[in-house]
Amino acid sequence: MKEIIGFFVMAFASLFDPIRTPGYIISGWAIKNLPGALVASILWNVLIYGVIIMPIDARLQSSTRADLFFASCLGGVFMTGIVYFFASRRRKRQQAEMAAKKDNDENKPSG
């Protein structure tokens, strides 16, 4: 039970990573379909892991831990999902406002 709780604590803590979090936010905000946004966030995590973390671990002669990688992937998916949810709500609201404005413009008498 402690291992499971620890895994989710690591996933939550990965939300505060200053290197990975901007990628999660950008992918959730900019990509307009959820599967694409989730794949982009996982690829971002893999890129950061391969470019930054693994070389540092190799220089320090420490082993990379797979559980940390998977926990950060889970945290990234969670963060991207939250950002995507709010971004899609905002996009839908903007579309509704534009449709209402278009209807108002069409219903105005041209004089």
Nearest to 41 by CA among 29, 54, 28: 28
In a domain, residue 60? The reply is yes
How many domains does the structure of the chain reveal?
Answer: 1
Q: Domain span at residue 58? A: 2-104
pLDDT tens readout for residues 43-93: 998 998 888 888 887 888 777 678 888 888 888 899 999 999 999 999 999
In a domain, residue 109? The reply is no
Rounded distance between C-alpha atoms, residue 37 and residue 8, angstroms: 21
In a domain, residue 77? The reply is yes
In a domain, residue 61? The reply is yes
In a domain, residue 110? The reply is no
What's the predicted TM-score (pTM) here?
Answer: 0.76
DSSP letter assigned to residue 31: -
